[in-house]
Structure 1
């Protein structure tokens, strides 16, 4: 098949091989032609390992060109790619690897290069679209793979759908754009936007991590046109001194997409005042993808909204009796998409529990205004979102309860100006003075990733439970916040 007349990364690389594709964390530049050659070599290497359509490859990789190669290599030979957070502990990583049945695991740029060593740089035969399978935790604290059916088509055939959808929700277009990767590519949105950018023909500027001033410097230096961020980043950049902020020319920015957590109105307004009308927000989840979206002008007319249903999506708001609520009345949000379905890998019961027929519940409470714009009231009861990252109390509680001096524990998220929420652990020891906060954090070190560690540990003589013995986390949180207010 002659792909030169078709859209997307693989065709762009064939027709415009000298176009700049990636500026890596160390400044190394790679063209589209060079990137496709390495992608093809790795694709042949995966095939040589015996992998076929529907098999799984996992990457435990920091930001850089290596995860980009894996994303695009698996993407045109029908494989599922599972990006894994490299901050996780080995037991946490091992759990995901076992659950996803990964046949190949890469943990470094050297591993990726070794896959392609000595392989041809030509397009592999029988190309078919792969998919990314992100792992997301549930109320049990154990992550599950969000698996979608493979498209069953060559990648060039589905690229026009990506391009149309992105144009509709955030005005992103094919051309000579420059996309800044600000977040770890093991998260769903940064990973997806990396792939989108290449299919649009944009240049990727990859940052190793987010730091406010260096990010501004990258935007200025590379004339970045679009990026994906989370509200915590906005908060931190707004805290920079005025003279620092004024040092950088950000006029190249056209679209900065944000998601991952509710953005305080004052923070978003502050960025709009600084950068101009370039903020595009969407709301959804790993399961639902982009369900709602709003551009800068519509948001300014309705501050606080997360937008209207994205193309192909429908929404309904239900009460506790599964009845639709009137306009303006809060209820549980349900969405339905024409873009395809998902299932939790190896967990049909969990898949069924998350659905009402064709309708999926992200688990959040919200209401629709008279024009169909969604406003969120609260996140799901137990989920903590800190810096745009989902943190699940049940997982942390389970790890804390492994300590012999702990009798009971409740983990909650409390509002935090910078991070959105912070993790607080309220611990009931077996006896007074049996444990210190430092000892508890040391106990957690080998068990759960550091970003899940409580920022506050307080000890309690007793924690409230319902008559059935279930921890009343809502009462714990209400009592904690009331105590802070007092």
Structure 2
């Protein structure tokens, strides 16, 4: 029987529209057309100009035969084309795949094939890697390569595409009429996560989730209109934690940054009056530990967001000395970046730095527009006691969760078992509802904000002819938070140096995945032959790093 509240009350275009982050730029261009949107070197681009360029990109893609549910990859640093891609690509109904620029050619080739990219936009800094990746592709499908030119890039320029980005945009219609997705469940982006196997998994985002997380970013930070946001966080990381869309929602300023360096960051903060920035602990540590003279004249009240390893007391203290306000968040690629926040309370301000650090080190509580986050017993799917001691798994439920893993129904089913997204992170929950990670059920190493699969590194170690057995665990690192430490058991009679093992790994892995320490010896094993990684973790802290 139809409810009286549904009878003769139709859902039509007049009273219902799909939620999408694309509407944010449309509004900002209409309401604040002349407000500054993008800064890059000498470039100053307004919201109306940015909106026009995004529409040109969408139009050009469609004219090139790329449309609904196709994929366009981008291999770009934090420059204007990367900002524009976050709107222009989905305006054409196309799915944006922002590639991690730190990855090796073999991995990039896999992603291009697996995501079935129809085009790729590449910055000259990464042209060489992409050129190698194109030669490694297994797919014979044609791929349109578009070269970006950037006056701030000082290296040698290698043209590998059939057109340039500016020429491609010029072929598009500045008045292109785009439409919201027919369904907010439609895919908006594809991001790859390292997971626990050699091949990365493709995480698919929907329009609704991207918009929900973008708005939650505003709410968690009380982000004002026309905020000035510095791009220290790579936009290839979970679409910059959805901040390209967040900044558009606030008609803010995208201050682009090709490379994360302390001097460049501080200069940008002073020159442009930066109000907000995000980053892994290594970025904040870089600023805290910079020479005092470099910090002179910084704007007051800059808001900083940190994710990854919990901020130690020294970092919190250092940020406060600079006048920065630090917010700790937690999340994964599968939940659009940060989806929980360690929401601070006024009463914490009166506590000593050690106690504040302890409270701020927790992963916190759910984002505003996430339905629920709990620490559950993965066997019973029941909440663990909120006693700060009983371990369970952090699980998410709601709009800020991926559609699933591309072409991997089994992994998707496992991830959503029991009606929750299983993070794989083990934690305890406190009486106030805040939770804190205690261990990782997936042997992932987080180094400088990058996820490294220990299994992937181990696979490479096993390829060395002298290696009998290998295990990789996280080694604490003052700069990177964690780095890979390799424990290697050699074959009888084999001789090899730690430096040779590192050199071998460099041939097969991206630089940040290469072990920084190599320890030789018999590996501790259970009676069934399983390597006891918990024993190795105890030893990793004292392992000597290899300077390379």
TM-score (normalised: structure 2): 0.79
Q: Identify unmatched segments of 5+ residues in structure 2.
A: 1-12, 124-147, 150-163, 350-355
The change in CA–CA distance for 1:242 and 1:86 in structure 2 (over 3 A counts) is closer
CA contact (8 A) 1:60 1:105 kept: yes
Note if 1:471 corresponds to 2:528: no
Deviation of 1:341 after TM superposition, in Å, equals: 4.6
Q: CA-atom RMSD, angstroms?
A: 2.7
One of 431, 448, 469 as aligned partner of 2:509: 448
Partner residue, 2:227: 177
Partner residue, 1:291: 339
Partner-residue secondary structure (3-state), 1:357: helix
> What whole-Å deviation, never above 9, does each CA across 1:76-112 have from its counterpart, x for those lacking one?
2222111112222211100111111111122231543
CA contact (8 A) 2:488 2:520 kept: yes
The change in CA–CA distance for 1:18 and 1:432 in structure 2 (over 3 A counts) is farther
CA contact (8 A) 2:24 2:245 kept: no
Q: Take 1:256 and 1:482, find their aligned partners in 2: how far apart are those partners?
A: 32
CA contact (8 A) 1:169 1:294 kept: no
Partner residue, 1:325: 384
User: What is the aligned length?
Assistant: 470
Partner-residue secondary structure (3-state), 1:334: strand
**Stretch deviating more after TM superposition (236-245 or 139-148):** 236-245
CA contact (8 A) 1:216 1:248 kept: no
4+ residue runs over 6 A deviation: none
One of 299, 302, 306 as aligned partner of 1:250: 299
Q: Take 2:57 and 2:543, find their aligned partners in 1: how far apart are those partners?
A: 57
CA contact (8 A) 1:412 1:425 kept: yes
Deviation of 1:148 after TM superposition, in Å, equals: 3.2
Partner-residue secondary structure (3-state), 1:9: helix
Partner-residue secondary structure (3-state), 1:435: coil
Q: Take 1:293 and 1:425, find their aligned partners in 2: how far apart are those partners?
A: 33
Deviation of 1:381 after TM superposition, in Å, equals: 4.8
CA contact (8 A) 2:343 2:365 kept: no
One of 257, 269, 286 as aligned partner of 2:317: 269
Partner-residue secondary structure (3-state), 2:51: helix
Q: Take 1:432 and 1:115, find their aligned partners in 2: how far apart are those partners?
A: 60
Note if 1:307 corresponds to 2:322: no
Q: Take 1:200 and 1:166, find their aligned partners in 2: how far apart are those partners?
A: 11
Q: Take 1:271 and 1:85, find their aligned partners in 2: how far apart are those partners?
A: 28
Partner-residue secondary structure (3-state), 1:249: coil
> What whole-Å deviation, never above 9, does each CA across 1:116-141 have from its counterpart, x for those lacking one?
23222113344437612110011113
Q: Take 2:524 and 2:72, find their aligned partners in 1: how far apart are those partners?
A: 44
The change in CA–CA distance for 1:163 and 1:391 in structure 2 (over 3 A counts) is closer
Within 5 Å, which residues of 2 pair with 1:303-382? 303-311=360-368, 312-319=370-377, 321-322=379-380, 323-328=382-387, 329-339=390-400, 341-382=402-443
Partner-residue secondary structure (3-state), 1:121: coil
CA contact (8 A) 1:234 1:268 kept: no
Q: Take 1:251 and 1:479, find their aligned partners in 2: how far apart are those partners?
A: 43
CA contact (8 A) 1:170 1:295 kept: no
Partner residue, 2:140: none
The change in CA–CA distance for 1:120 and 1:64 in structure 2 (over 3 A counts) is same
The change in CA–CA distance for 1:69 and 1:320 in structure 2 (over 3 A counts) is closer
CA contact (8 A) 1:56 1:104 kept: yes
Q: Take 1:434 and 1:114, find their aligned partners in 2: how far apart are those partners?
A: 56
Deviation of 1:294 after TM superposition, in Å, equals: 2.7
One of 49, 54, 60 as aligned partner of 1:39: 54
One of 25, 35, 39 as aligned partner of 1:9: 25
Q: Identify unmatched segments of 5+ residues in structure 1.
A: 153-157
The change in CA–CA distance for 1:394 and 1:233 in structure 2 (over 3 A counts) is same
The change in CA–CA distance for 1:435 and 1:98 in structure 2 (over 3 A counts) is same
Q: Take 1:176 and 1:479, find their aligned partners in 2: how far apart are those partners?
A: 49
